[in-house]
């Protein structure tokens, strides 16, 4: 007998989106369900029509088989499909996983309706019970439910088989920039209800306290029994039945049809409104009663009262124009791939909250349901995105009628599942799928079903940011140049909020000019923020010896972004993929193990709820930059950093300020007459334990310069001292193993490589400059060395003057760059030290890594960090560890011996264990061998980072120009 599911051949039938699958609804059945998570019998077949064999292995559910020691390994592509077949085709070699286990149905479920829920399966799911077909589903990121009533018996065992086909017509619209996996990636459960049950519950809760609850009731037999009714309770307040609505659904005094509808209402006085700053939630319980009053079904929800609307070019939450400090987030874990636990999701959101983020775009599919519960609780604005991306064949698919049902099905099911979450404020129709009739159809469905939220889609907005006829209520471009955003906002033609769905690409050492963007956003009406791409580097922990994922047993094999010996973070190509897109998968603001990258500290300061500036006359102006709350949840301390006098602290009393308010506060310190440069910092922390942060967690550290540095005085030469240089004019010094030479090269960042700068630098020969001494001249106690550095296309003339001064040596340098070197990575000195100098102490910006266009989050002060902790282990080795605005530093051994460097003005300094060529040559960190000493760069100028791997490069003001560069520094022995 032919299996009707296989007969449909759903992996090559785009018109088939489901068979036997129940409608999506918003009733959460996770509580009280029977979990089927755990090991299942498993076979991986080469194709869906391959007969199942007699030999079984085991696979853990939820989990991708690509992460569980099968021969089908993860594969990463960005735009192109991993096979050559055109839509709706799929390859003949089509891995198919067969999962099977026995399920004992609880005896007390007799007479009840029994439902199987499969949380997510990639990409086609076929369900059988005891060998009989039950149904099928597509959509790799939403749950599928199947009614097993009559197919299983209470108190008896049944064999459940779930067959998952990896490639299908649906894969062409799941072409997201991520790893390709196969398997069951979210939880599987079995639950029971009475035959009479709540089919759906919809909540609309407004900020004025008005609550409306729409209930749909169904019975397994079809016709509804007489006398049933619904009650509701909100934190002890009973909800009233909307009799006018009831009458509209009555015929001859009875509820009409087989689908009952009930509306409950109430108004909550003095309601506590929900926002991302104040995530106030109420408990709602809805009960379905039989005619005799007994309860046959219950739904429990958490309700947040809030309004979302667009007024002109502003997106308003509860009537306020808010800034969206967002990030794009995938469901990802380095050990389990697409499977993410509740604890991991909570850790993701807690970390984001601590670094000032208030918004998430679920790129590019609906995330695990628990994420929305957490966003409701912790406070995030969510752009909920449908599981649609057809990047490789976007134009063909957008109007292909074979895919119309799939587009509408995916968007509508997302809305039906997530509509009750207050965190969801915008529906997104998908990502990078061109723009066609399918998007208009899906948008029409959403607007009819849920008029309380706007709809966005970048592909539609691309047709015109102000176009009123496209299916996007928001102008949501990707990586739009800041000057274009400003021009649009100032043009007088803007009609919609401009909120970038992706900006500031976080690949490697990146996110330059973030402060410039936010200065413009906060100063320009019509601009409301955007979503950084993205949250997490998608590096998979890989065993180096066999090239396979470490799997679930890999916990503990990484720390602070560094994989343990014998392991590494894998990216595209590391699993032997024929087609791949390399390290483009590593573009998050945190490393794969959730270690924050330095951009997180930058973002936290740019999102500071408390700001500080000098008053017009005396004192300081302190302001509250929040939208909805005061400063009562914060505590603070003043800190005064004196360049020549250490650090002073004093308690700070934050004023009682309403959102947007300001207050003048007195200077907390009287500046000493001596002490040189002085910086005042307000260190703000949480005042009490919060769900996302214990008391004392840093929130921000606004800083002001109270006194500038005095001009440096030139130190007189010491006549008795002698400068030692070798025959090539290279400095000889007891603490240096490599003399200071000119450096114009940095290990290219991902932005440098993909943005094309590194190609030019290599063409110029900056990575292999040849030094040739021209002259060595002694002038009294000073030695002047002139050298030529020859590249492939130009020559740089470099002059060093070594002068002995009290306790050390002053080095005055000059480099003349030819006009063709119009954009180099750096201009400065590089030298290497003896081993044993393991501690860096400095006065300047810090303590974390910073660069010229990413330094707003690094306050000036006295900092102390071990040398090995200065380096940031970006997934692909590259330029790392720099500190901007350094005035002076020491490198010391445990016995306090070492060297000290004083710079003529604040400069970019980098101290690591690696030469630039070491980092340039390595693809992974396990290939790097730390040098025993320190490699020290002192840069007169250093190029900004930008985000050119995907998006705009840095601004012209952060480029290193040709011409003459001069700098000086003094070296002393401690």
DSSP result, 676-730: SSEEEEEEEEESS-BTTB-TT-EEE--EEEEEPPPPPPPPPB-TT----B-TTS-
**pLDDT tens-digit series, residues 125-175:** 999 999 999 999 999 999 999 999 999 999 999 999 999 999 999 999 999
Q: Is the model's pLDDT at 253 over the cut of 80?
A: no
**pLDDT tens-digit series, residues 98-108:** 999 999 999 99
**pLDDT tens-digit series, residues 191-250:** 999 999 999 999 999 999 999 999 999 999 889 999 999 999 999 999 999 877 776 666
Q: For position 381, what pLDDT does the model report?
A: 98
Q: For position 132, what pLDDT does the model report?
A: 96
Q: Is the model's pLDDT at 255 over the cut of 60?
A: no
Q: For position 619, what pLDDT does the model report?
A: 87
- Mention every residue, 6+ apart, whose C-beta is less than 8 A from residue 2: none
Q: Is the model's pLDDT at 720 over the cut of 90?
A: no
Q: Is the model's pLDDT at 632 over the cut of 60?
A: yes
What tokens appear for 945 in the block? 């980072």
Q: For position 259, what pLDDT does the model report?
A: 73
The alpha helices in 281-427, defined as continuous H runs, are 342-354, 369-378, 394-398, 404-418
**pLDDT tens-digit series, residues 598-607:** 999 999 999 9
Mean pLDDT of 601-628: 95
- Residue 103, φ and ψ in degrees, nearest 5: -125, 125
Q: For position 257, what pLDDT does the model report?
A: 53
Burial of 780 per CB tally in 10 Å (0-12, 13-18, 19+)? exposed
How many whole angstroms separate alpha carbon 498 and alpha carbon 531? Answer: 12
What tokens appear for 693 in the block? 């942060």
When pLDDT is cut at 50, 70 and 90, the band that residue 644 belongs to is confident
Q: For position 258, what pLDDT does the model report?
A: 63
pTM for the complete prediction?
0.97
When pLDDT is cut at 50, 70 and 90, the band that residue 252 belongs to is very low
Residue (of 389, 336, 628, 376) closest to 502 by Cα position? 389
How many whole angstroms separate alpha carbon 330 and alpha carbon 368? Answer: 10
**pLDDT tens-digit series, residues 486-495:** 999 999 999 9
For residue 39, the cross-strand partners are 60
Burial of 56 per CB tally in 10 Å (0-12, 13-18, 19+)? middle
Handedness of CA 696, 697, 700, 704 (dihedral sign): positive
Contacts 24+ apart (CB under 8 A), 616-621: 618/666, 618/667, 619/664, 619/665, 619/666, 619/667, 620/664, 620/665, 620/666, 620/667, 620/680, 620/704, 621/662, 621/663, 621/664, 621/665
Q: Is the model's pLDDT at 29 over the cut of 80?
A: yes
When pLDDT is cut at 50, 70 and 90, the band that residue 282 belongs to is very high
When pLDDT is cut at 50, 70 and 90, the band that residue 673 belongs to is confident
When pLDDT is cut at 50, 70 and 90, the band that residue 713 belongs to is confident
Q: What is the mean pLDDT of the chain?
A: 96
Q: For position 668, what pLDDT does the model report?
A: 93
Q: For position 2, what pLDDT does the model report?
A: 77
Q: Is the model's pLDDT at 877 over the cut of 60?
A: yes
**pLDDT tens-digit series, residues 372-396:** 999 999 999 999 999 999 999 999 9
More confident residue, 616 or 127: 127
Mean pLDDT of 678-694: 98
Q: Is the model's pLDDT at 254 over the cut of 50?
A: no
How many whole angstroms separate alpha carbon 144 and alpha carbon 133? Answer: 15
Q: Looking at 77-81, 643-647, 741-745, 944-948, which range is the least confident one?
A: 643-647
Instruction: Count other C-beta atoms under 10 Å from residue 283's C-beta.
Output: 12
Q: Is the model's pLDDT at 414 over the cut of 90?
A: yes
């Amino acid at each position: 007998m032919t299996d009707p599911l296989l007969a449909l051949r759903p992996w090559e039938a785009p018109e088939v989106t489901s068979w036997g699958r129940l409608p999506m609804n918003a009733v959460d059945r996770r509580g009280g369900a029977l979990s089927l998570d755990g090991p299942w019998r498993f076979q991986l077949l080469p194709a869906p029509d391959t007969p199942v064999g007699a030999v079984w292995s085991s696979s853990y559910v939820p989990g991708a088989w690509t992460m569980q020691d099968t021969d089908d390994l993860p594969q990463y592509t960005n735009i192109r499909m991993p096979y050559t077949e055109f839509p709706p085709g799929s390859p003949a070699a089509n891995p198919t996983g067969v999962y099977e286990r026995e399920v004992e149905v609880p005896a007390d479920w007799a007479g009840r309706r029994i439902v199987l829920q499969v949380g997510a399966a990639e990409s086609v799911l076929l369900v059988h019970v005891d060998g009989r077909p039950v149904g099928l589903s597509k959509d790799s990121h939403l749950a599928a439910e199947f009614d097993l009533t009559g197919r299983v018996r209470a108190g008896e065992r049944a064999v459940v088989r779930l067959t998952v086909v990896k490639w299908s017509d649906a894969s062409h619209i799941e072409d997201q920039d991520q790893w390709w996996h196969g398997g069951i990636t979210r939880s599987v459960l079995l639950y029971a209800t009475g035959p009479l049950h709540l089919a759906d519950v919809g909540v609309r809760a407004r900020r004025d306290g008005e609550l409306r609850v729409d209930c749909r009731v169904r019975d397994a037999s079809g016709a509804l029994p007489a006398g049933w009714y619904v009650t509701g309770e909100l934190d002890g307040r009973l909800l009233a039945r909307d009799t006018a609505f009831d009458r509209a659904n009555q015929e001859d005094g009875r509820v009409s049809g087989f689908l009952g509808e009930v509306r409950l209402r109430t108004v909550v006085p003095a309601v506590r409104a929900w926002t991302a700053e104040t995530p106030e939630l109420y408990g709602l319980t809805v009960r379905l009663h039989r005619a005799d009053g007994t309860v046959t079904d219950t739904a429990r929800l958490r309700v947040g009262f809030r309004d979302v609307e667009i007024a002109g070019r502003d997106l308003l939450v509860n009537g306020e124009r808010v800034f969206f400090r967002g990030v794009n987030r995938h469901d990802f874990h380095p050990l389990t791939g697409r499977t993410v636990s509740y604890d991991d999701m909570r850790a993701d959101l807690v970390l984001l909250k601590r670094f000032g983020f208030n918004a998430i775009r679920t790129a590019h599919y609906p995330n695990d349901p628990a994420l929305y519960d957490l966003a409701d609780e912790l406070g995030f604005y969510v752009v909920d995105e449908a599981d649609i991306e057809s990047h490789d064949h976007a134009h063909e698919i957008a109007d292909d009628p074979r895919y119309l049902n799939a587009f509408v099905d995916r968007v509508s099911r997302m809305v039906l599942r997530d509509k009750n979450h207050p965190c969801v404020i915008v529906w997104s129709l998908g990502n990078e799928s061109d723009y066609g009739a399918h998007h208009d159809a899906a948008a029409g469905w959403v607007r009819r079903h849920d008029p309380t939220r706007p709809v966005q889609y970048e592909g539609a907005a691309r047709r015109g940011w102000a176009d009123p006829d496209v299916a996007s209520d928001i102008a949501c471009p990707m990586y739009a140049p800041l000057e274009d955003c400003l021009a649009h906002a100032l043009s007088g033609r803007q009609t919609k909020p401009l909120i970038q769905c992706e900006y500031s690409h976080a690949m490697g050492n990146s996110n330059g000019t973030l402060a410039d963007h936010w200065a413009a956003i906060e100063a320009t009406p019509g601009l409301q923020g955007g979503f950084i791409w993205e949250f997490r580097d998608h590096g998979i922990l890989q065993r180096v010896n066999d090239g396979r994922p470490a799997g679930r047993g890999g916990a503990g094999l990484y720390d602070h972004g560094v994989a343990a010996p014998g392991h590494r973070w894998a990216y595209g190509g590391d699993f032997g993929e024929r087609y791949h897109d390399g390290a483009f998968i590593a573009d998050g603001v945190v490393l794969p193990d959730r270690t924050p990258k330095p951009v997180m500290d930058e973002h936290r300061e740019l999102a500071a709820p408390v700001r500080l500036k000098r008053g017009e006359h005396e004192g300081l102006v302190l302001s509250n930059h929040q939208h909805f709350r005061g400063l009562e949840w914060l505590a603070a301390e003043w800190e005064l950093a004196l360049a020549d006098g250490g650090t002073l602290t004093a308690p700070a009393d934050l004023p009682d300020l309403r959102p947007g308010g300001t207050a003048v506060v007195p200077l907390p310190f009287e500046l000493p007459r001596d002490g040189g440069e002085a910086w005042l910092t307000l260190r703000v922390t949480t005042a009490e334990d919060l769900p996302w942060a214990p008391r004392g967690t840093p929130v921000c550290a606004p800083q002001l310069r109270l006194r500038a540095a005095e001009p440096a005085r030139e130190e007189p030469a010491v006549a008795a001292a002698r400068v030692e240089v070798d025959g090539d004019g290279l400095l000889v010094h007891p603490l240096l193993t490599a003399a200071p030479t000119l450096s114009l090269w940095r290990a290219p960042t991902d932005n440098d490589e993909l943005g094309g700068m590194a190609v030019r630098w290599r063409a110029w020969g900056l990575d292999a400059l040849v030094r040739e001494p021209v002259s060595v001249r002694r002038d009294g106690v000073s030695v002047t060395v002139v050298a030529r550095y020859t590249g492939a296309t130009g020559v740089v003339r470099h002059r060093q003057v070594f002068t002995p001064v009290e306790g050390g040596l002053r080095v005055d340098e000059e480099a003349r760059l030819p006009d063709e070197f119009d954009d180099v990575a750096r201009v400065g000195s590089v030298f290497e030290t003896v081993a044993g100098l393991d501690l860096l102490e400095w006065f300047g910006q810090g303590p974390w890594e910073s660069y010229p266009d990413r330094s707003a989050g690094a306050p000036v002060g006295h900092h102390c960090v071990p040398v090995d902790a200065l380096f940031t282990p970006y997934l692909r080795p590259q330029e790392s560890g720099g500190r901007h605005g350094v005035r002076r530093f020491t490198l010391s051994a445990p016995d306090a011996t070492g060297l000290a460097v004083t710079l003529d003005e604040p400069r970019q300094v980098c101290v690591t264990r690696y030469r630039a060529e070491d980092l340039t040559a390595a693809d992974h960190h396990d290939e790097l061998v730390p040098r025993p000493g320190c490699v020290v760069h002192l840069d007169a100028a250093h190029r900004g980072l930008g985000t050119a791997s995907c998006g705009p490069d840095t601004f012209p003001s952060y480029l290193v120009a040709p011409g003459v560069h001069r700098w000086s520094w003094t070296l002393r022995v401690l």
